[in-house]
Every structure is written in C-alpha cells, then in structure tokens.
Structure 1
Amino acid sequence: MTALGELTRPWQAMSYGFLDPSAKREMRRAMLKAVAVPGCQIPYASREVPMARGWGTGGLQVTLTLVNPGSVVKVIDQGADDSVNAVSIRQFVQKVAGARGTWDTQEATILQSRHRIPEEKLREDQILVLQVPNPEPLRPVQPNMSLARQMHADADYGRLWLVLYEQVVRSGRIMQGASYPALVNGRHVMTPSPIPRWDLPKLDMARHLTLLSAGREKRIFAVPPFTRVQPLAFDDIPFRVEDHASLVCHRSGVAGFFMNEIPQPDGSARHELSDSHFGIKAIRRSEGEAVEIGETWYRNGAVT
C-alpha cells in the first residue's frame, strides 16, 4: 500500500516560474485555443503577480508560462530595454526561471513588449508577447461586452467601419493611431495592443508567433505564423503608417525607422530611434565594431 506522503512532493517556497502548475496548464490551454482561432479573444483566470494591474500582468503571465531555463528573454517598454518597467519584468523572470536576459532582438527566444515591435525581423523560433491594456476593439462603439461578444460571433463590424468613415469625413484622413483595428485571418477583428500603425504590417504573414494578453481584462488572443493581418481601410483610402521615412536619429544617424520626438528648449525637436538597442548597435557598428544587425521590416521608411 502506498503511503499518502509518497504521493506528494516536498514543500517548496515557490513554483518554478512563479505561477503554480494549475495556472500554467490553464494558460497553455488558452494559448492553444487562441492559436487555433486567430484573433479570437479567449478568456482565462488572470492570476496575481507581483506587479499592479495595467502594468503588463497579462504579458508577464504568458512569459512565465512559456519560459524555461534555456530561454533568452528580452523585455521592452515603448522600444526601450532600460526603462523601469522593462528592467523590473526582465529581472523578475530571470530570478524565478533561471533564464538569461538580453537586449539583443537576435538573441532572444521570448520577447515581451509594451507598445512596440522591434525593427529587426523575428524568426520562426522566436515568440513575441504583447501587453494589451484593452483587448476589445468594439468597446468604443459598444460598451456592453455581452453585445460586443455577439457582434464578434456575427462578424458584425459595421460600427467600426462607420467610425473610420466619420474620421475621413471630418478630418480628410483616418485619424486612428495606436491600436489600429485589423482583420485577422479574414474573420476576427482585433486591436493589436497600443502599438503604432508603423508596427501593424510587421504582424502580417510574419514568421513568428505573436501572443497578446490582457491581464486586467482576462483575455488572450494570438496571431499564428504566416497569418493574414489586414488593417481596416477603404479601397480608395489605403492604410498608411506614420511618415517617419525622412526623420534621422540624432544619436545614431540612422534614418527610415520609427522615431521618438524629443522637444528642445528652443522650440525645435530632435528625433531618436524608438527601438533603443537597434540604435545602440548602429552606433557600435559606425565605430568599427563587428556588430550583427538582423534584417529589418522596413527599409528607407517602406515595408520590405
């Protein structure tokens, strides 16, 4: 007869990767459903993690579920690897999982991001985790979430088209900036995190898996590799990204990529690469170092 003590594991102060096995199993089931139905929001029981809701808890739970001791984790906040939020999340994942942290997009196997997708293209063996504050694209036009779910089931996105049409009528162009709605796999409309329009084409037919998670709203959705992601746009008014092609980074001298605008005391403005480590590598290469820079999504301000 087997004793009860033989069926239990020794007590541990913390599970590997912080989340308990039950939470990870649920997250994995939700991820599989999200991959099977691209763009569809899958509910999950968002667990408590040692950071405030709204600061990336959804993305952190996905990363903690995927990470293993051999993982290399990159975390960015609006393109920067050295911001407080990015450093805190990266160090936490390293501490609870024994994974290695990095700033280099080419080295990372898991990339968790808030507001940006790196400028260097991601490979098949990399996973992009995007933090999403509001996963529901229909919220501005239908605040009742029960009715919004029904609209998704019916593929009833007429009100979103009406919002874009009203912007064209009033302003002469579509004013939607971050979180631009996009049709995934010809079926579900999603809001792709608060990434700028510049980053939205990077999801279309990409080689990597993208997981988008909202911890506060308890929803996860995905864009599998080689999946169509089409921004909502009219035939006679095509989708356009931000016009940053002519902007030059004052630090690295690189042009043709997404820039941050830095106001100056005299009223002028400087521009700096939003992807901070991409700029660092460009500076190091200009100084004669042998630095590997991967293929980029854009070239001279246009999608390659």
Structure 2
Amino acid sequence: MNAPDSIHAAASYDSAAHGYNFAYLDEQTKRMLRRALLKAVAVPGYQVPFASREMPLPFGWGTGGIQVTAAIIGRRDTLKVIDQGSDETTNAVNIRRFFARTTGVATTRRTIEATIIQTRHRIPEAPLTDKQILVYQVPMPEPLFRLEPRVAECKKLHALADYGLISVKLYEDIVHHGSIATTYDYPVIVNNRYLTSPSPIPKFDNPKLHMNPALQLFGAGRERRIHAIPPYTPVRSLDFDDHPFEVQQWQHACALCGSTESFLDEMIVDDAGKRMFVCSDSDYCHERRGDREFALPASEAPEASDAREGESA
C-alpha cells in the first residue's frame, strides 16, 4: 500500500519447480472450460454446464470465477481482483496471491491497467474497454431458483422463454412495498432472449451490463454453470411501464473523494453510531483523490524463478 503506484512486472515461472501447472488447473480441464466458455459466448445468457474441479478453497468463495480466470489467463495478462469493489478484502487478496504464485503474471489494483478483472458483487466504476475481460464469481446462476426449485422445470421455462414467474415476483414487491424492492441480483434479459442472473451485484451496476465493450464471463463453481455476455450485447433489466427500472440514489457524497455518482458503502465509525459514506470501488476513490500510493505491497509481488514453463496457449 505504501509502494509507488505501478504494475508489478511478471516474474518467471517454473511449473516443474513448483509442482503444479500454469494457473493450477491441468490442460485438459482448461480445454473443457474453454469449450464451455465458447458456447456461452455464442448463446448469450444461456447457462452452460461444466465439470467443476476441486480448488484450494471451498465452494462459495469464488471457485467458479477462479476456474474461468485460470482457463483464459496468459503470461501477458495483467490481473485485478476485487471483492465488493475493494482490492483489499481477504477474498480479493488471497485470489490475487493465488494467481501471482501459480502464473507469475502481473497484478494491479488499477482498473485501467488490467486485462482480466475478477470480481465479486461489483462492476468497476471506471468504464471498461474491448481489451478487457470481466470475470464474475457467481453463487447461484439460476434466476428462477427461488420461484421454481425443480431444475427440469427451470430448463423448460428457459426453453419456452416463459418468465411470467419473475414478473409476478416483481409485481408482488410493488404491492407490498410500493416499488420493486430487489436491490441486488436484479434479473435481466440478455440479447432479448434469456433471463439471466447478473450475480449479486447491486442493481446500481445493472446499466453497466448493457452494451458493455468488455467480455463478461460468469462462473458458478458450486452449481457447475457458466454463462456469458459478449461485448456490445443488449441487456435489459426487468420492469413495468408504470414502474420503470431505477438505480439506488444517495443523499450523501463520498467522505473521502466527494463523489456523488458512485456506489457508496455506509460505515459506522464510532460507538455513538456516527456514519460515513465512502466509495465501494477503492480504485475509483483513490483515482479521484489523486492517491499515487495505491499499489500492491511487495509481499504480493509474483514469485520469481529462472525459467517460465507450463503455460497453455
């Protein structure tokens, strides 16, 4: 955190010396994942099954996103990992260290410098480009599972594009609360066809899904499903004519950078219950403040060795 703001250069990597393959997964598993990803990109929003592998962390902690990242990462990539918008949470730090150790690729905390961004529950505030890939960690990819627990019936509803159940659920929100109360994991229609779960991102981020120039990949390790939103794909958040989709609004600005346009986290700062609001996206907040000390600590730099082997094409 106190080092100058820069990308750590990729270190050499010797798979034989470390005892595992590039990006941890074996080559056959990577090929299987890439085939599933190609199908997911070809059919936007469709849930593609895949054979999820055991990873060095339990299901529910990002195993799907990690497997997707492991399948697509290459030695020239620069990786950024965020959790709830922050680069500094335990989950983000551990996943970043995992890939730094198993691939030796460059890692960064700056959104504009990353070619692959693995995220849990947020989309970065900074606009993405067509040179970037956004990988989501998804706990439950099926948007209908709370309404229809039978997997076979859910598949039938998707095949028929029969999404009346979700419309009824949103209508019940309006009846009980006067507005649509869903604040995260807000259902969307991808490419005017498939109902899709955007992962538990706040609905504040839903507009960023629409026509995003970056490739968006969603991996659910526990549920063994992958889906994708290709670049420049139309994405529509479900709503009604008399109750249009709306994002959250705050009557506060970020206490650190003064932003009124970003997603804010509410924090209790003392025992008296005093509150402050700060940007959820730590990189965005640091950039607005002109903070040039926002870089990876030396302890997270990729491990070095004399040779680099074992990377897949």
Normalised to the residue count of structure 2, the TM-score between the two structures is 0.86
Task: Indicate whether 1:279 and 2:285 are aligned.
Answer: yes
1:16 aligns to 2:18 (yes or no) = no
**For 1:4-43, what aligned pairs fall within 5 Å after superposition?**
13-43=19-49
Identity percentage of aligned residues:
45
In structure 1, what residue type is equivalent to 2:48? I
Note the C-alpha offset of 1:211.
Answer: 0.2
Identify the residue that residue 254 of structure 1 maps to in structure 2: 259
**Whole-angstrom CA distance in 2 between matches of 1:122 and 1:22:** 31
Q: Does 1:184 align with 2:190?
A: yes
Number of the residue aligned with 1:148: 154
Q: Distance in 1 between matches of 2:276 and 2:17?
A: 56
Change in CA separation of 1:79 and 1:11 when aligned onto 2, cut-off 3 Å? closer
- Paired positions, count: 278
User: Does residue 158 of structure 1 match 2:164?
Assistant: yes
The Cα of 1:12 is off from its aligned counterpart by: 8.3
Give the structure 2 partner of residue 52 of structure 1.
58
**TM-score w.r.t. structure 1 length?**
0.88
Q: Which amino acid aligns with 1:165?
A: Y
Q: Could you tell me which residue of structure 1 aligns to residue 309 of structure 2?
A: none
1:45 maps to a residue whose letter is A
Offset at residue 142 of structure 1 (A) = 0.2
Q: 2:239 aligned with 1:228, yes or no?
A: no
Residue 147 of structure 2: SS of its match in structure 1? coil
- Distance in 2 of aligned mates of 1:271 and 1:12: 44
Amino acid at match of 1:120: A
What is the letter of the counterpart of residue 19 of structure 1?
L
1:78 aligns with 2:117: no
1:124-179 CA-partner distances (Å, limit 9, x unpaired)? 00000000001000101100111111111111100100000111111110001110
Alpha-carbon distance between aligned partners in 2 of 1:266 and 1:25, rounded to the nearest angstrom? 55
Residues 216-262 of structure 1 show CA distances to partners (whole Å, capped at 9, x for unaligned) of 00000000011011001001110000113x42111222222110001
Matched residue SS, 1:198 = helix
Given that residues 59 and 130 in structure 1 are in contact (C-alpha distance below 8 angstroms), is that contact kept between their aligned partners in structure 2?
A: yes
* Higher RCO structure (Cα 8 Å, ≥6 apart): 2
- Picking from 78, 87, 103, the partner of 1:97 is 103
CA–CA separation in structure 2 for the residues paired with 1:115 and 1:105: 16
- Report if aligned partners of 1:167, 1:173 keep a CA contact under 8 Å in 2: yes
Deviations for 1:45-87, whole angstroms, at most 9, x for unmatched residues? 0011111100000000011111111110000000110111101
In the alignment, the residues of structure 1 paired with residue 18 and residue 29 of structure 2 have an alpha-carbon distance, to the nearest angstrom, of 16
- What are the ranges of 5 or more consecutive residues in structure 1 without an aligned counterpart? 1-9, 292-304
Aligned mates of 1:68, 1:48 — CA distance in 2? 21
Tell me, in whole angstroms, the C-alpha distance in 1 between the residues paired with 2:273 and 2:17.
61
3-state DSSP class of the match of 1:124?
Answer: coil
What SS is found at the alignment partner of 2:266? strand
For residue 112 of structure 2, give the secondary structure of its aligned residue in structure 1: coil
Q: Counterpart of 1:300?
A: none
Structure 1 counterpart SS, 2:290: helix
Residue aligned with 1:261, SS: strand
Cα RMSD (Å) of the superposition? Answer: 1.7
For residue 308 of structure 2, what is the aligned residue in structure 1?
none
Inter-partner Cα distance in structure 2 for 1:226 and 1:141: 30
Q: Which runs of 5+ in 2 are unaligned?
A: 1-15, 295-313
1:193 partner amino acid: S
Residue 106 of structure 1 aligns to a residue whose secondary structure is helix
Distance 2:82 2:35 in 1: 26
Alpha carbons 1:247, 1:256 under 8 Å: kept = no
